[in-house]
Amino acid sequence: MTYVVAVRAMCEFTARRGDLDLRFTPAPTSLEGMAGHATVAGRRASGYESEITLTGTHRGLTVRGRADGYDPAANRLEEVKTHRGDLERMPANHRALHWAQALVYGHLLCRARGLADLTVVLVYFDIGSQKEVLLTQTHSARDLEVFFVEHCERFLDWAVQEEAHRAARNAALGALQFPHGAFRSGQRELAVSVYRSARDGKPLMAQAPTGIGKTLATIFPLLKACAADQIDRVFFLTAKTPGRALALDAIETLNGGAARLPLRTLELVARDKACEHPDKACNGESCPLARGFYDRLDDARSTALAGLNLSRGAVREAALAHEVCPYYLAQELARWADVVVGDYNYYYDSSAMLYALTQINQWRVGVLVDEAHNLLDRARRMYTASLDQAAFRLARKTAPAPLRKPLERLQREWNAVKRAQTGTYQVYTDVPGKLLSAAQNLIGAVTDQLAEAPLSIDEASLRFFFDAMHFVALAEQFGEHSIFDVTLATDRYAPRDKTSATLCVRNVIPAPFLAPRYAAARTTVMFSGTLNPHHFYRDTLGLPGETQWLDVEGPFRAEQLQVRVAGNVSTRWRDRERSLVPIVDLIAQQYSAQPGNYLGFLSSFEYLQRVVALMRERHPELPVWEQEQGMDEAARDAFLARFRTANQGVGFAVLGGAFSEGVDLAGEQLIGAFIATLGLPQMNEVNEQMRRTMDLKFGNGYDYMYLYPGLQKVVQAAGRVIRTEQDRGVVHLIDDRYRRPEVRRLLPRWWEVH
């Protein structure tokens, strides 16, 4: 057996005990941590060695990592840990984990250098005070070897099991056949390209139409790449719950009959959906499932992994059987799963767990990004932060005394920006230095306060301070990819000061934030039915120049779909009133000629409501139902259920909303769609500034900000009509701009537009 594990990963497995405790404790950022390590190293004498790569083996187990520092003259190994506040508040189980790592590094260094003994030091460096606390132990090489062997032995049973699982997995995946007798049209081409991307270690963008089985065609080849030892595991990332369900269904299809694949498939869900005690805090003093979490984790993990199927329900069952938190058990299982299915944020957010695990463990991962056209807007939100002055004032009212001066300083700078503003919306070339300095000063004071008195700040104020931390982190990385803007609004909480200024670091181009994620993966496959034009997504999402492009020819034929342009109607804002009657009459005419189920898409709820009201007035015999704002899951299901019954009529929805993609209404469930808009984002001050930003970067700001995103929504919505090779239907594109060549070029090639 040969099994490789990082020092940190092994010690986290063998040395963690006690409660799960998620109470916020101020921790240095990664940049502060690196700066702290550099400061400590800079204080050492000449000859001091930093970042020493070490490797050791025991009975087929290879343990590797990098020790922080070694002073040959003093024969002293140092493990540096940065922190904030009173060191005495650090939980004992954290200290035990730190010592375990230090002593393992000590053994590896003794073996590498032939040392007879060694002084091992834990260096705790306080980011705030810049002071060091040194905890020192001296050990013989023999003692360190005994410690190393003891922890390796604790890990070995698990490692043997893991190696056996990996061998069985790879053997089964090597023999795995495609579950259907033959590939669909275009499906083989996609699968081959995905496999080659893993083999060659290059990213891939694939545009492939609905109906060819994209999910299966991307998962299957990456599992074959696992069998060939080209990647270690697969992350399937989705924007919405239906995509997650499709991935899990595809793996069930691969499992086939009774003999299930030895494949661990983990479903990650949001904390609010997995929490058993939403009224309790995540610590052992409050929640019974956090109390003794790490003491019971080993048994809970073994129970869960024995079942292979790590769906939300299966993980919950295993967790409750051992009285541990289901959500955090799932987080732990991510370390041992072969396939992880979850939201984009688990890999692409600034604090993404799967990305962090990939880096720490040096995994070779294959990342599948489902419906990748959604990643642009999602990533923009991940790397955007705003601060609301009304929320600031509420936080200020309840803040403890030590925060008053930092809060007053921030208020002064905030108000100075507001007073200098000439309009309700203004863009700045940078975050004002004094404002940023005041926000940084407040964050430092808040972290010190929480370090000294963790319960002294109420929950509402904490939410504002967390927003401030996110704001500061993005402001410190400010560049041409983002804009800083200030919006003035009426503040109902401050009658003497009628306006409130919202500060926003607004991401426009996520590329610089996402690029390291691609670099960390063996391959990233972006796939969708709408990635046209591909240079738009490559540029904005930051995919490297070596990214392969595949445009899969679909199975659909032009005669399956009638695409008609209503070129005598304008849906522009100034023409809305005149457009209502033509839209309503066109829909009624189509329904009269061919009764059935249709979807009508409008650009806004207000527009939708006016069309529906006029439809009921002019054509009361035609059944209609409509999407409403803020529909919950049950209401959305009820909306779609109307299509799956024998009833016929027109359902109206907002383009780009819940019903314009990810909805599968095959056959007679949906025979047509009316799209009364180009889907262009609203032209307002924010979007215009984003257009200017992209114009400076790419020289094509209007298309990048308005045209490409708009037509992507149109094509997605139209794609609800033809779902299989047997479907027939009609799409009415209602706007005179659909006659323009630059618009026509963005429509699917297989369409014949009349």
> Distance from CA of residue 35 to its chain's centroid?
27
Identify the CA nearest to 143 among candidates 112, 117, 169, 171: 117
CATH 3.40.50.300 domain residues, the chain? 180-268+337-382+510-554, 558-744
Which pLDDT band, with edges at 50, 70 and 90, does 10 fall under? very high
Say which CATH architecture domain 558-744 belongs to.
3-Layer(aba) Sandwich (3.40)
Question: What angle, rounded to 10 degrees, do the helices at 7-15 and 141-175 form?
Answer: 100
The token pair at 397 is 């009212």
Angle CA(241)–CA(235)–CA(361) in degrees, nearest 5? 140
Query: Under 8 Å CB-to-CB from 64, ≥6 apart: which residues?
Result: 4, 5, 6, 7, 53, 54, 55, 56
Is the model's pLDDT at 344 over the cut of 90? yes
Identify the CA nearest to 130 among candidates 48, 43, 47: 43
The pLDDT value given to residue 29: 66
Tell me which of 270-274, 471-475, 504-508 is least confident: 270-274
Tell me which of 87-91, 266-270, 513-517, 749-753 is least confident: 87-91
Quote the CA–CA distance of 374 and 657 in Å, as a whole number: 12
The predicted model gives 578-589 an average pLDDT of: 97
CATH classification number, 3-156, choose in 3.40.50.970, 3.40.50.20, 3.90.320.10, 3.30.450.20: 3.90.320.10
Number of continuous H segments (helices) and E segments (strands) in the chain = 27, 24
CATH of segment(s) 384-508: 1.10.275
76 DSSP β-pair partners: 71, 119
Query: Under 8 Å CB-to-CB from 27, ≥6 apart: which residues?
Result: 83, 84
The predicted model gives 19-36 an average pLDDT of: 74
Is the model's pLDDT at 497 over the cut of 60? no
74-88, 180-194, 471-485 — which one is most confidently predicted on average?
A: 471-485
Residue 79's SS3 state is: strand
Residue 233's SS3 state is: strand
Compute φ and ψ for 552, nearest 5 degrees. -80, 130
How many other β-carbons are positioned within 10 Å of the β-carbon of residue 247?
A: 26
Question: What angle, rounded to 10 degrees, do the helices at 534-541 and 375-382 form?
Answer: 20
Quote the CA–CA distance of 310 and 308 in Å, as a whole number: 6
Which pLDDT band, with edges at 50, 70 and 90, does 495 fall under? low
The residue that leads in pLDDT, 281 or 382, is 382
Q: What is the mean pLDDT of the chain?
A: 92
At the fourth CATH level, the homologous superfamily of domain 180-268+337-382+510-554 is P-loop containing nucleotide triphosphate hydrolases (3.40.50.300)
**Which sign does the torsion angle of CA 583, 636, 243, 649 carry?**
negative
Q: Establish how many alpha carbons lie within 13 A of residue 90's alpha carbon, considering only the half-sphere containing its beta carbon.
A: 18
The predicted model gives 557-579 an average pLDDT of: 95
Taking CA atoms, 602 is separated from 471, 530, 605, 645, 680, in Å, by 35, 20, 8, 24, 11
Tell me which of 47-56, 207-216, 252-261, 614-623 is least confident: 252-261
CATH 1.10.275 domain residues, the chain? 384-508
**Which sign does the torsion angle of CA 535, 539, 542, 545 carry?**
positive
Instruction: Please check whether residue 639 is in contact with residue 659, taking contact to mean a CB–CB distance below 8 angstroms.
Output: yes
The pLDDT value given to residue 26: 58
The pLDDT value given to residue 461: 86
CATH 3.90.320.10 domain residues, the chain? 3-156
Is the model's pLDDT at 22 over the cut of 90? no
Quote the CA–CA distance of 710 and 655 in Å, as a whole number: 9
Is the model's pLDDT at 496 over the cut of 60? no
pLDDT tens for residues 683-724? 999 999 999 999 999 999 999 999 999 999 999 999 999 988
The pLDDT value given to residue 611: 97
The pLDDT value given to residue 140: 97
Query: Under 8 Å CB-to-CB from 120, ≥6 apart: which residues?
Result: 76, 77, 79, 102, 103, 105, 106, 136, 137, 138, 139, 144
The token pair at 267 is 């479903």
Which pLDDT band, with edges at 50, 70 and 90, does 27 fall under? low
